Homo-oligomer: A and B are copies of this chain.
Amino acid sequence: MASKSGAVEVSEGEQVKSKSQLKKEEKLAAKAMKKEQFKAINKANTNDQESGEDISVGKYGVLKMIQSSKNDVSDRVFVDVKNIMTLLADNSVWIRGRLHTSRKQCFMVVRQQQWSIQVLAVVSDTISKQFVKFCSNISKESIVDIKGKVTRTPSKIGSCSQQDVELHIEELWVVSQSANQLPLLIEDASRPVKGDDDDQGLNIKVNQDTRLDNRVIDLRTPANQAIFRLEAGVCNLFRDSLTAKGFVEIHTPKMINAASEGGANVFTISYFKGSAYLAQSPQLYKQMAIAGDFDRVFTVGAVFRAEDSNTYRHLTEFVGLDLEMAFKYHYHEVVDVIGSLFTSIFKGLRDNYQSEIKTICEQYPVEPFKFLDPPLKLEFPTAVNMLREAGVEMGDEDDLSTPNEKLLGRLVKAKYDTDFYILDKFPLAIRPFYTMPDPDSKVASNSYDMFMRGEEILSGAQRIHDSDYLIERAKHHQVDIEKIAAYIDAFRYGCPPHAGGGIGLERVVMLYLGLDNIRKVSMFPRDPKRLTP
């Protein structure tokens, strides 16, 4: 460990010095620098001239920028805040974390992701007034290295994740200083959301745009730390579950030469001397992989929608979790695989992400997500009947409106006690041309949606795998055959029957957690009005 004090300004290209030389220089320089640092940090206290000997010299200060100098190499061991428990009482430990708050002169809270601990800096025979004052002037959100003695607290500290212990300061070094003025405070951004607006009358709320404009700070709240870890978990569970079932991951191009489904809602790219489009779905490519004998494939990647929808649940760019699978006789072979995929995801979250869910619930209280194993599967006419019984007027082949979807979700929850279900056999009339008609029905198709808390999170179907029939159905839908020639050609050289679906990752996370806005679960969301940061 060396040059921790910011005092040693090693000039570029300087020769290596002996350890004792360095130490001597360090001490001298530390003294010289101390006052300067104080000036810099204690801008607010210019009138206040400290005097007298500082018994804590060399125990605190601003570190020189860590630049990976040979002299920076250290074998110091840092402890994670989450691991500081009473078991460690009376030991001195080093932590690196953010200064979350400094209340009064001597109480600090240091935060590390979703964990936090109280640190006490009290003037004593080893801690100088100057040291304590230095601590109290560090800007919030600065990154600090602290050495402190783990000490049991007389009563639980409600405001910290580590409630039974605190650190009694021995050393403190500022690693990276934050600007004094923060565009938002973590405390405000972390405040629990309550149903009753009156309850939070006096508390400052941070609005969504302020959060998103300053995402590097907003991401530091315990809830956000947990949300994006849980989101990573959903991705992992998706992939692991499918890999275990023999699926192969593929990567599909985002730049395509023709708009996949007509030309609406598609972003145009200038591509050298011509133009291209951003893919609205990897569907053609997943299907080509099936025609190319990969049997079962999935892909995780960006999907683009140029819809000018400014709602709580639309993004112009989101993460698609897509899968496609050849089957032998019946597309229900695929529906069952997707159903059990969701069961794996829900079980995985329940079993391995309790700590994250708990942290999120502290800010956004929500009912636990309920699911059945195996999942509930309803047919479209059953849903229509349930809605009609609830007073909704709709035709047999009408699509579900968003309010009706939500109502249906509530009816299903009341009747079956599940927040997840599969709705099978959508009317053919309201599905795309490549959807396989149900041969046993005049109106139905081999297609399905899946819902979480009454909102669609997956849409899928058996696709037509016969090029002649595909042409017939495309003509029926008045789709220009020439424009989809490449798509049709994919099925000319033998293709197994197959089905699949696409899942919106952000919607799954939003609805699993019962959050009210998709921007809460997209790290850097994109909508018609937001392209930054």
Contacts and interface: CB of A to CB of B under 8 A. Distances in A.
Nearest to A292: B219
Which 8 pairs between the two chains have the least Cβ-Cβ distance?
A219-B292, A257-B531, A178-B494, A232-B249, A13-B442, A66-B497, A216-B291, A67-B439
Given A12-B441, A176-B466, A232-B250, A268 B267 contact: no
A438 interface: yes
Interface stretch (A391-399, A474-482, A485-493): A485-493
Interface in A228-264: 228-229, 231-232, 235-236, 239, 243, 248-257
A269 B267 contact: yes
A215 interface: yes
Contacts of A489: 216
A505 B251 contact: yes
Interface stretch (A192-200, A270-278, A407-415): A270-278
A72 B330 contact: yes
A453 interface: no
Interface string A282-295: 00110011011111
A533 interface: yes
A181 to B, nearest CB: 10
Nearest to A293: B220
A113 B302 contact: no
Given A254-B317, A490-B216, A68 B332 contact: yes
Task: Indicate the member of A10, A66, A231, A272 with the most B CB atoms within 10 Å.
Answer: A66
State the copy count for this chain. 2
A142 interface: yes
Contacts of A141: 493-494
A516 interface: no
A78 B328 contact: yes
23 contacts: A12-B437, A67-B437, A67-B439, A67-B446, A67-B462, A68-B330, A141-B494, A142-B494, A177-B494, A216-B288, A216-B291, A232-B248, A232-B250, A251-B505, A251-B522, A252-B523, A253-B525, A253-B526, A255-B304, A267-B271, A285-B524, A288-B533, A302-B302
A70 interface: yes
A319 interface: yes
Given A216-B292, A272-B308, 12 more contacts: A13-B442, A68-B436, A141-B493, A175-B496, A176-B496, A177-B494, A224-B292, A231-B251, A232-B250, A251-B302, A251-B505, A253-B526
Nearest to A462: B68
A72 B441 CA distance: 14
A293 B439 CA distance: 55
A143 interface: yes
A248 B319 CA distance: 16
A312 interface: no
B215 A439 contact: no
